[in-house]
Amino acid sequence: MQSNESGWIVQAQEGDANAFTSLVEAYQKPVYNLCYRMLGNAEDAEDAAQETFLRAYQSLKRFDPNRSFSTWLLSIAAHYCIDRIRRQRYRIISFEELPYLDVADDSPGVETRLSHKQEQEQIQTLLNNLNPVDRAAMVLYYWYDLSYEEICQELGLSISQLKSRMHRARLAMAQKWNEKKTSNLMPERITT
Amino acid sequence: MTHQPYLDWMITATDELSDPLTPEQRIALNEHITQCDSCRQVGEAWQAVELKMQSAPMLSPSAGFGKRWQARLETSQKLRQEKQNYRLLGILILGAFLMLAALTTQAMPLIKSPFLLLWTWIYQLVQTFYYLEFFRVLFISIFQTAIEVIPLAWLILFAGFLCQLSVVWFIALRLTTSPWRVKL
């Protein structure tokens, strides 16, 4: 994969669009997932992922081969999504508005699938409440196993800034989760 | 009661950058969360959220993403080309306007006296015709002399050579400007 990737990159840098399509096929999933986690719906995620690859293709000549291609690609996607969220600020998405998620779920049971979907929606709602940069940091940390140094490099933050952002995001998510749990429990308490 | 260090400790328990808690800190934290409901709830909530995020799968786009991307690339390249063309056209129009403005500025003193301007135009026109006539006479005299001096066969050969050069020039132009050779 690694040697194939280097070959595709070199060919794509020479203007071979087919070689870049191979890179698109190889990285569509991580890029799409990042866009989905950032934007919260399938339509926007598809559009953002396509735009990410287009931007990467256009600036491929400036790509430094000493860097990791996947991290570079994720950085483009994260920045694009951050800008996009800033442009469409304050759009609040409720649980009901969230579309169906294309979760690759191997479990056969309908109940398991449903609960899986609900969990995903809950996580997505918690992420949607975060500031875009905090959201990008959380997604890169939890879904891509990037180190703090890598996240700092990709998002242009210092370690202390990242630490404080992550702390703020974790606290906000935990508090939101608590609020949701409490509001879900309320009707039961009243009826019992 | 202060909650700050305990909240921080609970939230960053699995963080790679945070230092692990000392036994004293762990005892203090346990004591605190037995007394403080809000901190315990936040800690438990974060554990639940983190677990869900760690188990959340990677989402995939719908099938045919690569083909859709190729189509988008083509559209984008066409748009880019159109933009470049419009930009070039804009630059040319701007250049033409600038030249016109420069000429107008130069001609301003003449415009103030229209008679002089008209006279200059007529003079330039006559001069142009004079030069054209001069070159016509020169060419005809050279041609007539050449016919007298050079044999007819040589002249035909020379004309044929010129024709061949024109054909080669035309083919070369077509080949170098054909779209499959010029990558935009």
Mean pLDDT in residue range A138-149: 89
Mean pLDDT in residue range A15-36: 92
CA distances, A66 to each of A7, A54, A62, A72, A106 (Å): 14, 21, 12, 11, 37
Contact A143 B60 (CB under 8 A): no
Contact A140, A151 (CB under 8 A): yes
Contact residues, chain B, for A45 at CB < 8 Å: 59, 61
CA atoms within 13 A on the CB side of A42: 14
CA distance A86 to chain B (A): 23
* Residue B24 confidence (pLDDT): 84
Mean pLDDT, chain B, rounded, equals: 85
**Tokens encoding B180:** 């499959």
What confidence tier does B108 reach under pLDDT thresholds 50, 70, 90? confident
Neighbour count for residue B147 (Cβ, 10 Å): 11
Comparing CA positions, the residue from A27, A71, A72 lying closest to residue A50 is A27
pLDDT digits (tens, 9 = 90+) for B144-182: 888 888 888 888 998 999 999 999 999 998 887 766 555
* Residue A188 confidence (pLDDT): 44
Q: Give chain B's end-to-end CA distance (angstroms, integer).
A: 69
pLDDT digits (tens, 9 = 90+) for B94-104: 999 999 888 87
* Residue A101 confidence (pLDDT): 46
Mean pLDDT in residue range A103-121: 65
Comparing CA positions, the residue from A132, A174, A186 lying closest to residue A155 is A132
Is residue A100 predicted with pLDDT exceeding 70? no
> What sign has the CA pseudo-torsion A149, A151, A156, A158?
negative
**Full set of structural domains in chain A with CATH:** 1-89 (1.10.1740.10), 93-192 (1.10.10.10)
Contact A123 B62 (CB under 8 A): no
Is residue A69 predicted with pLDDT exceeding 50? yes
Q: How far apart are CA A8 and CA A14, in angstroms?
A: 10
Q: How far apart are CA B86 and CA B68, in angstroms?
A: 27
**CB nearest to A54's CB, from B11, B52, B73:** B73
**CB nearest to B46's CB, from A24, A49, A170:** A170
Pick the range with the lowest mean pLDDT from B25-34, B63-72, B122-131.
Answer: B25-34
Comparing CA positions, the residue from B120, B87, B17 lying closest to residue A170 is B17
CA distance B163 to chain A (A): 39
**Tokens encoding B20:** 């692990």
Q: Can you give the pTM of this predicted structure?
A: 0.66
* Residue A120 confidence (pLDDT): 79
CB neighbours of A108 closer than 8 A, spacing ≥ 6? Answer: none
Q: How far apart are CA B166 and CA B159, in angstroms?
A: 11
Among A13, A29, A44, A50, the strongest candidate for a mutation testing the B interface, having the largest count of B CBs within 10 A, is A50
Nearest CA in chain B to A103: B59
Nearest CA in chain A to B59: A33
CA distance B1 to chain A (A): 19
**CB nearest to B62's CB, from A53, A102, A181:** A102
What confidence tier does A25 reach under pLDDT thresholds 50, 70, 90? very high
Q: How far apart are CA A107 and CA A51, in angstroms?
A: 33
- Provide the CA B14 distance to its chain's centre, in angstroms: 47
Q: Is the ipTM of this complex over 0.90?
A: no
CA distance A178 to chain B (A): 6
Contact A144, A82 (CB under 8 A): no
Is residue A48 predicted with pLDDT exceeding 50? yes
- Write down the domain spans for chain B: 4-54, 151-184
**CB nearest to B70's CB, from A21, A147, A166:** A21
Q: How far apart are CA A176 and CA A122, in angstroms?
A: 10
Neighbour count for residue A150 (Cβ, 10 Å): 17
What confidence tier does B126 reach under pLDDT thresholds 50, 70, 90? very high
SS3 label, residue A190: helix
Q: Which amino acid is at B13?
A: A
Mean pLDDT in residue range A5-19: 87
The single residue listed with the structure tokens 């403005």 is: B101
CB neighbours of A31 closer than 8 A, spacing ≥ 6? Answer: A49, A52, A53, A73, A74, A77
Is residue A95 predicted with pLDDT exceeding 50? no
Is residue B184 predicted with pLDDT exceeding 50? no
* Residue B16 confidence (pLDDT): 66
CA dihedral B120, B124, B125, B130 (to 10 degrees): 140
Among A178, A179, A183, the strongest candidate for a mutation testing the B interface, having the largest count of B CBs within 10 A, is A178
Q: How far apart are CA A16 and CA A3, in angstroms?
A: 17
Q: What percent of chain A has pLDDT over 90?
A: 38
Q: Which amino acid is at B109?
A: P
